[in-house]
Structure 1
Amino acid sequence: MSKQKFFITGTDTDAGKTVCSAALLYKASEAGKQTLGLKPVAAGCEDHGQGLQNDDALLHIKYSTEQLPYMQINPIALEEPIAPHIAAQHIQKPLSAQRIVGLVRGVLMINRADFMLIEGAGGWRVPLNLNETFADVAKELQAPVILVVGMKLGCINHALLTVEAIQRDGMKLAGWIANRVDPEMSAYDENLVTLKSLIQAPCLGDVPYLDNMEIEKVAEYIQLPE
């Protein structure tokens, strides 16, 4: 079975990257794949007695079949719930694409998983420092990209700009997921049709707004990328 790895990005913060990532991991495991989800950088971590940990990273652990120590899933855990590069500056531990890529590759080289997800932070152009963004991590890893579109007013512009940036960076868009984050969004169906017409990549799912974001339920609305 050939190994697959994908980089997960979103149109912005709270687009639903982690929920969709967990649903993809669950779907892949149900299909008999060995799975692993990584969240190399996470801001907004809390210490409940086991060091700084992040809810998003914990969700990756829960839905990965390959169980690794927390520090391998989320090696850069930042306490402040702010832009990661600023949180890192505040503790004098600046971020770099080279360091993050090295940490991710170290895990991928020794792991048996055949379906792997690497989740970024926020959107495609979230800074790591004044010269690099998370896009540089995806480019160095050469991981096809899955874009999660937070479906709300303004999402068409956000989605198309992100797709344009991904493609301009020479990266393959493996697919995108429409994730309804605003239950009151007007003309939802028309917005979805527009995105499907303008994004030249497979739509991997249309996730409705769910009061209880059960990962197993979300997975019903998502298909695995090729």
Structure 2
Amino acid sequence: MAQAYFITGTDTDAGKTSIAAGLLYAAKQQQRSTLAMKPIASGSEMTAEGLRNSDALALIAQSTVQLPYSEVNPYAFAPAIAPHIAAEEADVELSVSDLYRAAQVILQEQADFTLIEGAGGWRVPISATEFLSDLAIALQLPVVLVVGVKLGCINHALLSAQAILNDGLELAGWVANVVDPNCARLTENLATLRLHMPAPCLAEVPHLPIASAEYIAVYLQQACLYLINDTAK
């Protein structure tokens, strides 16, 4: 049975793409078909084929179902700034309805394991009236929250989790991704998160010198099984 999840983070640079790529790699190791989407991406580089975003390319590299880049990342912007500001500067109008239709193209492929990755944190504006979280609500996908473990992450994680639940969505689980190798009282912080987060911890990923999908997947095997086998629901 095909499983699909929306991946969000506690903040920019929480490691959403690294965790998503690791989960996709782990799913491939279990002989599952994989597909991912990055609806909106800022911080893209111009190439001969047009604007390309490194996060979107990382997801494509771990997808067994290969689609045109424009379907995986329909909105790519050059400056590494908030999506609604980047869109305004590029004279592009973003809307949940357009993103929803683009996401349906991905979901209709019915890959065994599909991930749709957000941008930044949960409540990221895409226009003056809509947020990227509205796309997750429209899609009604369960959410995986990537917690970038660093000083201040407990507050960010608890507020993000509460916002997801208040929006009526299922929080399938969260991944502790250690982004600060010098995070003080790491064990105590993780214990506090486990105590207060209203969803299971799917995995703890240490700070890795090589943050490739292959290395990260080592820590995500059980999380991947949990999600693929629908245990989260």
Q: Same fold (TM over 0.5)?
A: yes
C-alpha distance in 2 between matches for 1:127 and 1:200? 25
Q: Which residue of structure 1 lines up, in the alignment, with residue 128 of structure 2?
A: 130
Q: Which residue of structure 2 lines up, in the alignment, with residue 6 of structure 1?
A: 5
Match of 1:205 among 183, 203, 206: 203
Secondary structure (helix, strand or coil) at the match of 1:195 reads helix
C-alpha distance in 1 between matches for 2:200 and 2:100? 27
Write the mapping of 1:149-168 to structure 2, written as runs, cut at 5 A: 149-168=147-166
Q: Which amino acid aligns with 2:103?
A: V
Secondary structure (helix, strand or coil) at the match of 2:71 reads helix
Write the mapping of 1:28-47 to structure 2, written as runs, cut at 5 A: 28-47=27-46
Q: Which residue of structure 2 lines up, in the alignment, with residue 108 of structure 1?
A: 107
* 1:77-102 deviation digits (Å, cap 9, x = unpaired): 11111000100001111211111111
Q: Which amino acid aligns with 2:192?
A: T
TM-score, normalising length: structure 2 = 0.94
Q: Which residue of structure 1 lines up, in the alignment, with residue 23 of structure 2?
A: 24
- Matched-pair contact (CA < 8 Å) for 2:37–2:106: no
Say which is worse superposed, 63-72 or 154-163, in terms of deviation: 63-72
C-alpha distance in 2 between matches for 1:219 and 1:205? 10
Q: Which residue of structure 2 lines up, in the alignment, with residue 78 of structure 1?
A: 77
Q: Give 1:220 shift.
A: 1.0
Is residue 175 of structure 1 aligned with residue 170 of structure 2? Answer: no
Structure 1 unaligned regions, length at least 5 = none
Is residue 65 of structure 1 aligned with residue 64 of structure 2? Answer: yes
Q: Give 1:48 shift.
A: 2.0
Once superposed, what is the RMSD of the aligned Cα atoms? 0.9
Secondary structure (helix, strand or coil) at the match of 1:122 reads coil
Q: Which residue of structure 2 lines up, in the alignment, with residue 218 of structure 1?
A: 216
Q: Which residue of structure 2 lines up, in the alignment, with residue 187 of structure 1?
A: 185
* 1:93-136 deviation digits (Å, cap 9, x = unpaired): 12111111111112322x14121000000000000112111110
Q: Which amino acid aligns with 1:96?
A: S
Q: Which amino acid aligns with 1:165?
A: A
**Percentage of identical aligned residues:** 51
Count of residues in correspondence between the two structures: 224
Q: Which amino acid aligns with 1:25?
A: L
Q: Which amino acid aligns with 1:188?
A: L
C-alpha distance in 2 between matches for 1:205 and 1:220? 10
Q: Give 1:33 shift.
A: 1.0
Query: What stretches of structure 1 move > 2 A for 4+ residues in a row?
Result: none
Q: Which residue of structure 1 lines up, in the alignment, with residue 143 of structure 2?
A: 145
Structure 2 unaligned regions, length at least 5 = none
* 1:131-156 deviation digits (Å, cap 9, x = unpaired): 11111000000110000000000000
Secondary structure (helix, strand or coil) at the match of 1:121 reads coil
